[in-house]
A and B are shown apart, each in its own frame.
Chain A
Amino acid sequence: GESVGLHLPTLSVQEGDNSIINCAYSNSASDYFIWYKQESGKGPQFIIDIRSNMDKRQGQRVTVLLNKTVKHLSLQIAATQPGDSAVYFCAEGGNNRLAFGKGNQVVVIP
């Protein structure tokens, strides 16, 4: 069956540095991927998405990279700010739904 997983449970990053969060997926048929951010007590908030016909997409301070060969997804956050402290989830689309990974805690050190 499909599975989505994150490599590191917690990432501590100095304010102003760049952050990279990695995610592996196993369903090679997936063609849609999303990154969400979840702050304590809130629902997941959409950050950026990418379709399988692309390998890179940029947003405001964020970049998503997709490597279909090794089934790897990453989220890069530029100039990390205290407000970026949260849990980040990758999700892959398939079978009418999104399947989520376990999440990766990002802690920004002022």
Chain B
Amino acid sequence: NAGVMQNPRHLVRRRGQEARLRCSPMKGHSHVYWYRQLPEEGLKFMVYLQKENIIDESGMPKERFSAEFPKEGPSILRIQQVVRGDSAAYFCASSTDRGDNSPLHFGNGTRLTVT
């Protein structure tokens, strides 16, 4: 039973380019979360999605960031016109229920570096 799969593992983008991060949840999981982690920091909530719906995006920056979880295919976190401050590790997690009521299972993250 494959865990949460994220790709790419490492992504390098120049300022102004777009970054697309992909996440395939565990089989049978319909709840997906994205978190961002800066070096030596905890994980900061970004967005919570269920299939085809954004449930809570209160942790997402208002501009340049978007997320989707289509009916078919992986969840995508998209960052447009990246800036150096976007450099971080982005983790996706999935669960069978809401994340405040059941364990989240995390992928190994995508490490984004903006040059």
Say whether, besides A43-B107, A43-B108, A96-B55, A89 and B100 are in contact (CB < 8 Å). Answer: no
- Of chain B, the residue at the smallest CB distance from A102 is B42
Interface centre among B40, B43, B98, B105 (most CB of A within 10 A): B43
Q: Do A103 and B42 have beta carbons less than 8 Å apart?
A: yes
Contact of A93 among B40, B93, B101 (CB under 8 A): B101
User: A45: CB under 8 A from chain B?
Assistant: yes
Residues of B within 8 A of A43 (CB): 4, 6, 91, 93, 106-109
Say whether, besides A43-B91, A101-B42, A103-B42, A94 and B106 are in contact (CB < 8 Å). Answer: no
- Of chain A, the residue at the smallest CB distance from B91 is A43
A80 to B80, CA, bound (A): 44
A32 to B91, CA, bound (A): 21
Contact of A98 among B4, B45, B56 (CB under 8 A): B45
Which B residues form the contact surface with A (CB < 8 A)? 4, 6, 33, 35, 40-45, 48, 55-56, 59, 91, 93, 98-101, 103-109
